[in-house]
Amino acid sequence: MHPLRNLTIKSFHEGLMTKKFSALEATQAFFEHIKESDKSIGAYLSLNEENAIKESEKVDLALAKGENLGLLAGVPLAIKDNILIKNLPATAGSRSLEGYLASYDAGVIKKLKSEKAIFLGKANLDEFAMGSSTENSGFHLTRNPHDRERVPGGSSGGSVAAVASDQAVAALGSDTGGSVRQPAGFCGVVGLKATYGSVSRSGLIAMASSLDQIGPITKTVGDAAVLFKAIAGGDQMDSTNAGFNYGDELLSLDLQKIRNLRVGVPDEYFADGLEEEVKVALQRTIEDLKGLKITFKKISLPHTKYALSVYYVIMPAEVSSNLARFDGIRYSRIKGSDVGVSNVKDIYFKHRGDGFGAETKRRVILGTFVLSSGYYDAYYEKAQRVRSLIKRDFDEAFKQVDVILTPVSPTRAFKIGEKVSDPLSMYLSDILTIPANLAGLPAISIPVRTGEPYSRDNLPIGFQLIGRHFREADILGLGQMYEKMNEGNIKTKPG
């Protein structure tokens, strides 16, 4: 493997500053690797080679002039293809948007351009971010780099697979019910879903507006902190943005403060249904953290059992509303001269009928039903009330603890095709990540690091840390402490 590819954000910056390589050399090396390895993985939908080469040359010129460059300058990133980059394809994984080029930059892309980050290309995803395996993409499958017969998770499967296979240093995904954290757990990388409203959603092709959040996918928790700090903050183009200003605490590591954190373990997340190897890995993680003298406390989140049902009422309702804009008029490849198209109604039916995949149609139909006259009160309104109870459970828990530790998914990565014909079984893979979205809380997926193979067949297993609103510093800090312990930089305390 080329030495430039096995890099974190921080080691890339160090190499660039010490002139071990130039930004141009690094970018070219990544494209060489992508063209060779992505044939068997399918992480990308489109590449941005010409522009990326030009931008990397600008970084090298700035460095030669002695300009002060931040940690993300020249860093090669993959961007999920539902996040707009001006003049690049934006398909959201759907044939209905094939050929569409974005007319403006998403809020997070503006911030990353100001940091001089390099965009290698647009990553594959489940269509309109609807799925847990990236098998619902309208274009091609993405495979898990650890086992090509298994899924990478979803819907940010392409972004996660790109990072896990060294086809990008880091990436951006979006998380509506676990779409950053679940694939990160399946592929052995770090995935952060920040507090709702902390990161601009401007330029994110909306799936469910009260749940969606853009998040970083990285190789280390420290890198997640760097990338999150860069994309977080205010944006007048997003009315749901809280404009919260994160300080330097995100990037600092106060070990004593982290050791004082109280960690809650909810019984409901460790109930029947967890794969045995996931149980063992999570118990090992808890024991490791106890060795750092971190206090653990059992807690209860009683309404967790309703989270999946609530999500699959609220999310499809918002999907139905958001996807109404894809009517065949504004973004369509279909023309009135096409066979079988003679009026506007024909355009609607052909565009949505041929352009949307089965899972997208399923969710649009379900969402339209729960919002329809006579059913709104029985389903959507009731779901919103239960959502409030789920949030209240977390509020009560955070009176006792600072952080909550849970599994990311009940199982490790499953085989391609294993759950395609059973939508409910597929939906259950997000059962442990959905509650954080419903409550708007920050949550991170971190690989269990044992110094040994992850499990019997070397499939990654992740654990999840959930924090208070706008307290990303707590979960990022505890995650970094866990990593440093496993690197041998922090010693556990016996007894």
Neighbour-count burial for 78-102, b at 16+ CB within 10 Å, e otherwise: bbbbbbbbeebbbbbbbbbbeebeb
User: Would 316 be classed as within a structural domain?
Assistant: no
SS3 content of the chain, % helix, strand, coil (to 5): 45, 15, 45
Token pair recorded at residue 448: 């269990």
User: Would 376 be classed as within a structural domain?
Assistant: no
Instruction: Find the catalytic residue in 155, 156, 165, 455.
Output: 155
Pick from 32-41, 148-157, 222-231, 369-378: least confident: 369-378
Instruction: Give how many domains the chain has, as a whole number.
Output: 1
Q: Is the pLDDT of residue 373 over 70?
A: yes
User: Would 344 be classed as within a structural domain?
Assistant: no
What's the pLDDT band for 271 if we cut at 50, 70, 90?
Answer: confident
CA angle 220, 223, 225 (to 5 degrees): 115
pLDDT in tens, 51-82: 999 999 999 999 999 999 999 999 999 999 99
- DSSP states of 182-205 as a string? HHHHHHTSEEEEPPTTSB--TTB-
Q: Is the pLDDT of residue 394 over 50?
A: yes
Residue numbers of the domain that contains 217: 9-307+384-487
User: Would 323 be classed as within a structural domain?
Assistant: no
Of residues 290, 284, 287, the one with CA closest to residue 261: 290
Active site residue 80: yes
Res 450: pLDDT? 64
User: Would 460 be classed as within a structural domain?
Assistant: yes
Res 495: pLDDT? 34
User: Would 117 be classed as within a structural domain?
Assistant: yes
Res 493: pLDDT? 47
- If you average pLDDT over residues 467-478, what whole number do you get? 98
User: Would 180 be classed as within a structural domain?
Assistant: yes
Pick from 17-21, 319-323, 341-345, 443-447: least confident: 341-345
Q: Is the pLDDT of residue 492 over 60?
A: no
CATH at 388: 3.90.1300.10
Q: Is the dihedral of CA 131, 88, 4, 477 positive or negative?
A: negative
Of residues 267, 269, 270, 265, the one with CA closest to residue 287: 265
For all residues of the chain together, what is the average pLDDT?
93
Residues forming a β-bridge with 172? 79, 216
CB 154 within 8 A of CB 187: no
CA angle 288, 291, 296 (to 5 degrees): 85
Active site residue 200: no
At a CB cut-off of 8 Å and minimum separation 6, what does 245 contact? 233, 234
For residue 463, give the amino acid letter.
F
pLDDT in tens, 328-356: 888 766 665 566 777 888 888 888 888 99
Residues forming a β-bridge with 444? 192, 465
Instruction: Find the catalytic residue in 22, 56, 80, 445.
Output: 80
Q: How many beta carbons lie within 10 A of that of residue 17, not counting itself?
A: 12
- If you average pLDDT over residues 111-123, what whole number do you get? 98
Backbone angles phi, psi at 484, to 5 degrees: -65, -35
User: Would 317 be classed as within a structural domain?
Assistant: no
At a CB cut-off of 8 Å and minimum separation 6, what does 286 contact? 265, 296, 405
Q: Is the pLDDT of residue 371 over 90?
A: yes
pLDDT in tens, 90-104: 999 999 999 999 999
Per the confidence metrics, is the pTM higher than 0.85? yes
CB 170 within 8 A of CB 217: yes
- If you average pLDDT over residues 461-490, what whole number do you get? 93
Instruction: Find the catalytic residue in 56, 165, 174, 179.
Output: 179
For residue 420, give the amino acid letter.
V
Res 337: pLDDT? 57
Which residue has better confidence, 282 or 349?
Answer: 282
